[in-house]
Amino acid sequence: MSLQIYYTPRSKETLSSVYNFILGRFGKRSADKFILKAEKTISLIAEFPLMFKASSIDENVRIGLITKQTSLFYLVKETSIDLLFFWDNRQEPVLPSLL
């Protein structure tokens, strides 16, 4: 049984930001390919919410790798998954204040 997925406003904003960055830098084909990978990762998370490693901030916040450059932070609840934000792995590590 897969869990319900909820996009937070921040996750929508950061997904759009990553998409636009890829679009501007590498073109529509690469940006669309990224979206497909993100959707596939989110589907896997819905089925297997604990498949990715827990963050050091909170064991219920997990970090899913979408591509080598991009991760997805998400919160596992009993009946749902909250997508928190997408993260460019080339940035400084996440601070607890971001969650």
- The phi and psi torsions of 10 (rounded to 5 degrees) equal -65, -35
Paired tokens of 57 = 């901030």
Q: Which domains does the chain have, with CATH numbers?
A: 4-98 (3.30.2310.20)
Q: Give the tens place of pLDDT for each residue, 40-97.
A: 999 999 999 999 999 888 889 999 999 999 999 999 999 999 999 999 887 665 555 5
Residue 95: how many other CB atoms lie within 10 Å: 8
In this prediction, residue 68 carries a pLDDT of: 93
Q: Give the tens place of pLDDT for each residue, 26-42.
A: 999 999 999 999 999 99
The Cα–Cα gap between 76 and 71 comes to 16
The position carrying tokens 């089925």 is 47
Is a pLDDT exceeding 80 seen at residue 1?
no
Residue 38 carries which DSSP code? H
